[in-house]
Amino acid sequence: MAPQDWRTYLVTQESLSAGRSTVDIARAAIEGGVDAIQLRDKDQSARRRYETGQRLRELTAEAGVDLLVNDRVDLALAIGADGVHLGQSDLPVPAARELLGEDAVIGKSASFVEEARQAEREEADYLGVGAVYGTSSKDVPDDEADFGPERVRNIVDAVGIPVVGIGGITASNAAGVAEAGAAGVAVITEITQAEDPAAATRDLREAVERGREE
C-alpha cells in the first residue's frame, strides 16, 4: 500500500501498552484495519527489537500491512521491513535509500515547512508531521509541539508528497487533521492504551475518513 492510502498508522511502544506486548497490540490493530505499523519501542535492546520485528514482519506480511522501523536502517534491513521512518537527526534520506533500495518506503519527520521541503527534495516518500497536539508519548521541543491542524495544512500545501499527522491525535480530533489535508494519522497511545485496540483503530479510521470527506 502506498503512503497516500494510509489512514491509520500505529507506532509501537510496549511500555505504553497497558501491560500487553507490542505483538498483541499490533495483532489487534491489524484486526481493526490499520494500514501501517512502525516498530519504535526505543526503550528495548536491539536484540529484543529485532525479535519483536521478526514477529511483526510475519503478521504484517500475512495481512498486507506495511511495516516500517523507527530510525534504524540496519534493523529494517535485518527484519525485511518495507521501510524506515527517519527523524531530523537520523541518516539523510538518500543514504537510507542507498542501503534499503529504491522500493523501500522512507518517511521523514517534519515540523516546519522548510524541513518538509528539504525532505521532499531528498525524495522522501512521505512526511510525519507533528506534534499536531500536545503529547506525553515523547519529548517534543516547545516550537514543535501542539501547533494544530493549520500547520499541517501549510505543509500539505507546500509539498507534493503524502503527509501523516502525529502527536496527541485521537478519534475525537483526527477528522480535523485529515480535513487539513493529511492522508492519515499516526498514533501511539490512542491504540496501545485502548481497552480494545481493534475498536480504537476502527474509530480512528472512521474519523479520518470523515475528515477527508469534508
DSSP string, 29-91: HHHTT--EEEE--TTS-HHHHHHHHHHHHHHHHHHT-EEEEES-HHHHHHHT-SEEEE-TTS-
* Dist CA 207 CA 214 (whole Å): 11
Task: State pLDDT tens for residues 139-149.
Answer: 555 555 568 99
Residue with cell 518495507: 82
From residue 58, alpha-carbon distances to 26, 35, 197 in Å are: 11, 15, 19
Q: What is the mean pLDDT of residues 182-201?
A: 98
Residue 136 has pLDDT above 90, yes or no: no
Task: State pLDDT tens for residues 15-35.
Answer: 999 999 999 999 999 999 999
The predicted structure's pLDDT at residue 139: 56
Rounded to the nearest integer, the mean pLDDT of the chain is 95
The predicted structure's pLDDT at residue 204: 98
Residue 90 near residue 99, CB atoms below 8 Å: no
Residues facing residue 70 across a β-bridge: 85
Is 15 annotated for ligand binding? no
Is 10 annotated for ligand binding? no
CATH of the domain at 181: 3.20.20.70
Q: What's the domain range around 187?
A: 3-213
Residues catalogued as catalytic: 40, 109, 138
Residue 137 has pLDDT above 60, yes or no: no
- Grid coordinates in use for 166? 502525529
Residue 70 near residue 37, CB atoms below 8 Å: no
Is 8 annotated for ligand binding? no
Overall number of domains in the chain:
1
Q: Is 178 helix (H, G, I), strand (E, B) or coil?
A: helix
The predicted structure's pLDDT at residue 100: 98
The predicted structure's pLDDT at residue 147: 84
